[in-house]
Amino acid sequence: MSGPVIVIVGFILITGRTLRQGTSLHLGKGSDEYRIEVTTVELSEHSMKKLGLREGDKVRIKSAHGSIKAICRRSNLPSEVAFMSCGYRANLLIGSDTEGTGMPSSKGIMVEITRETEEEDEV
Amino acid sequence: MKFEHVVCPLCGCLCDDLELIVERNEVISTKNACALSRSMFLNLNADLAKPLIEGKETGIEACVDKAIGIISKADYPLVYGLASTESNAQRKAVELAELLGGAIDSTSSICHGPTVLGVQMMGEVTCTLGTIMNQADLVVFWGSNPVDAHPRHLTRYSLTPRGLFTPRGRKGRRMIVVDVRETKSSKLADRFIQLKPGTDFEALSSLRALIKGEKIDIDPELKELAEEMKSCEFGALLFGQGLTMSNGKNMNVNAALALVRDLNQHTKFAILPMRGHYNVTGADMVFTWQTGYPFAIDFSLGYPRYGPGEFSVVDLLSRKEVDVALIIASDPVSSLPAQASSYLSEIDTIVIDPNRSMTSEIARVVIPTARAGISAEGTAYRMDGVPIRLKKVLKSPYPSDYEVLCKIVNGVIDGRSKDS
């Protein structure tokens, strides 16, 4: 899809479990099913429209700790929220500061999301 | 061959009513298993680990000897994982960490560690899942999505089953979900309250104020929730990582624990964490009875010291404070923030696991084992702290986690005797 690249800053990324992630895990973390599930980001219809995205399009997600490519999927989320299945891909966006608790902040990560334009790279 | 009353070693529900049909040492069908459990049992051989040293396949004895050699020379090793193995192995891992003067942590620190911190500060009004099934007429899931993470929780314990004082099952029970997003669980609820991310502490504190009779200007839905919680016969607040991983962490849990404590001035109410891995509760239990502390424990001074944020896995790895990592039944390369897990490829990492994992891919030594609860017996603790005996239903060519850890402990002791 051509057109200007729109960036939405200030998304709140929530990571969590999904049934598909839990079932595909047992096929091996190298399996396509697992890899696709943990590489998928869910966005609201409003956000997808604003970013000029269709389901299956690729996006770039950046946090203060890293940057990843992901495939987008429509979901019934608030417009400021993005959701990813927990896994190695989302963990590239999460910092290691545990604020003295041992627990990293795996939910509520501020991220920037852009429509990915480099079509040649595999997600 | 048919096996009945098999315990599922997957999530903290530890469902103990599974039936398995086994042919030629493979599970070919399951009954009563959820989608997660069925996928595990039917794909047990999908991605098995092999004994490896430096990526080359060898014998298991050679791997164990190599691990003993590496770990004996470590200055400050980390023993980590242990939520997906049985409690004898957990006990032996504590013995090894103490023997080595290292640190030990379980995956508790990256799931419900803040819950443990909260309970240590506040105490908890708790009960078993059986009590919820028999008595609860109100269940509140807060930051928890059981349909995806604990698929049989609702049907076995908390929503639909008929109990002694809940003869009408689902019809006699109200379900409320509080979450930042709509989930499959919220769609089943009688009431769904959607919070803005990061506002759990405020919502829980507001509920406490309302229950104490304070007049506050707040969302009417929270006012109705407060009234509903006060007026039920027996309520249960079941919370997930929506509280422990979000801003506030242990303070969110504190607020939830205090809310439930306050509710007991009006009615009966209990609170339970929705624990993930099947024996992560067991890791807390075993570590506590062995050392006095539930996770993030250091033995470098010769006695146990407790230090979440200091001796917890993410902190030790991100600060590069350990020189050897022994990973048991866990995959930290996949499950920890990359800033922490990347250090595992810089040091000598040893993996003990039945399955291949992203951590075994970067490990110097991989020791495959018989999977606890499937190819090895043992005990695991359900999310409510009830111990359940795991069955052995399949044969494995490999020893159990416990047997491997015994060999490593004995090998370290023998090595020291020879040196002295």
CA angle A95, A99, A104 (to 5 degrees): 40
- Main-chain phi, psi angles of B294, to 5 degrees: -85, -25
Specify whether the CB–CB gap between A7 and A113 falls below 8 A.
Answer: yes
**A92 burial type by CB count under 10 A (0-12 exposed, 13-18 middle, 19+ buried):** middle
B118-141 burial, b at 16+ Cβ within 10 Å, e below that, comes to: bbeebebbbbbbebbbbbbbbbbb
Min Cα–Cα distance to chain A from B267, Å: 32
B192-231: pLDDT as tens digits: 999 999 999 999 999 999 999 999 999 999 999 999 999 9
pLDDT band at B243 (very low <50, low <70, confident <90, very high): very high
CA-to-CA distance for B415 and B72, rounded, in angstroms? 8
Chain B residues closer than 8 Å to A24 by CB: 39
Overall average pLDDT of the B382-411 stretch:
97
The phi-psi region of residue B417 (left if phi > 0; otherwise alpha if psi is between -120 and 50; otherwise beta) is alpha
Q: Is the pLDDT of residue B265 over 50?
A: yes
User: Coil, strand or helix: which one is B346?
Assistant: coil
Residue B136 token pair: 């609860």
Question: pTM here?
Answer: 0.95
pLDDT of residue A116: 87
- The answer for residues whose C-beta is within 8 angstroms of residue B222's C-beta and 6 or more apart is B193, B203, B206, B207, B210
Nearest to B159 by CA among B186, B182, B127, B136: B136
Chain B residues closer than 8 Å to A99 by CB: 249, 309
Chain B residues closer than 8 Å to A94 by CB: 337-339
A91-103: pLDDT as tens digits: 999 999 999 999 9
In the sheet with B191-194, reading across from the earlier edge strand, the strands are B191-194, B174-179, B138-142, B234-239, B268-273
Residue B418 token pair: 């020879």
- Name residues of chain A where pLDDT drops below 70: 1-9, 118-123
Tokens 């006990």 label which residue?
A: B91
Chain B residues closer than 8 Å to A101 by CB: 113-114, 117, 249-250, 308-309, 312
Specify whether the CB–CB gap between B158 and B235 falls below 8 A.
Answer: no
CA-to-CA distance for B245 and B272, rounded, in angstroms? 16
What string of DSSP letters covers B43-55?
TTTTTB---EETT
What string of DSSP letters covers B89-101?
HHHHHHHHHHHHT
B338-371: pLDDT as tens digits: 999 999 999 999 999 999 999 999 999 999 999 9
CA-to-CA distance for B55 and B151, rounded, in angstroms? 37
pLDDT of residue B287: 98
Nearest to B366 by CA among B349, B343, B344, B346: B349
User: Coil, strand or helix: which one is B181?
Assistant: coil
- The answer for residues whose C-beta is within 8 angstroms of residue B368's C-beta and 6 or more apart is B48, B49, B50, B51, B60, B353, B354, B398
User: Coil, strand or helix: which one is B81?
Assistant: strand
User: Coil, strand or helix: which one is B192?
Assistant: strand
CA-to-CA distance for B411 and B420, rounded, in angstroms? 14
- The answer for residues whose C-beta is within 8 angstroms of residue B176's C-beta and 6 or more apart is B138, B139, B140, B141, B189, B190, B191, B192, B193, B225, B228
Chain A residues closer than 8 Å to B105 by CB: 102
**SS3 sequence, B201-267?**
HHHHHHHHHHHCCCCCCCCHHHHHHHHHHHHCCEEEEEECHHHHCCCCCHHHHHHHHHHHHHHCCCC
CB-CB: which of B35, B244, B246 is closest to A19?
Answer: B35
CA-to-CA distance for B11 and B334, rounded, in angstroms? 18
To the nearest whole number, what is the mean pLDDT of chain B? 97
The residue of A107, A110, A111 whose CB has the most chain B CBs within 10 angstroms, and thus the best one to mutate to test that interface, is A107
Chain A residues closer than 8 Å to B276 by CB: 17
Overall average pLDDT of the B143-159 stretch:
97
Nearest to B106 by CA among B359, B282, B367, B364: B282
pLDDT of residue A119: 61
Overall average pLDDT of the B103-132 stretch:
96
Determine the residue of chain B that is closest to A22 in CA distance. B36
pLDDT of residue A123: 60
The residue of A32, A77, A97, A101 whose CB has the most chain B CBs within 10 angstroms, and thus the best one to mutate to test that interface, is A101
pLDDT of residue B393: 96
Which helix (DSSP H) or strand (DSSP E) does residue A19 occupy? helix A19-24
- The answer for residues whose C-beta is within 8 angstroms of residue A74's C-beta and 6 or more apart is A42, A43, A44, A45, A48, A55
Determine the residue of chain B that is closest to A110 in CA distance. B197
The neighbouring-strand residues paired with B298 are B103, B305
pLDDT band at B155 (very low <50, low <70, confident <90, very high): very high
pLDDT of residue B419: 81
CA angle B193, B195, B200 (to 5 degrees): 110
Q: Which residues of A touch B (CB under 8 A)?
A: 12, 14-19, 22-31, 65-66, 75-78, 80-81, 83, 86-88, 91-92, 94-96, 98-108
CA-to-CA distance for B258 and B235, rounded, in angstroms? 14
Overall average pLDDT of the B78-82 stretch:
98
The neighbouring-strand residues paired with A84 are A15, A41
CB-CB: which of B148, B194, B338 is closest to A19?
Answer: B148
- Main-chain phi, psi angles of B400, to 5 degrees: -80, 170
Least confident of A7-16, B27-36, B107-116: A7-16
pLDDT of residue A1: 45
Subunit contact B148:A17, Cβ cutoff 8 A = yes
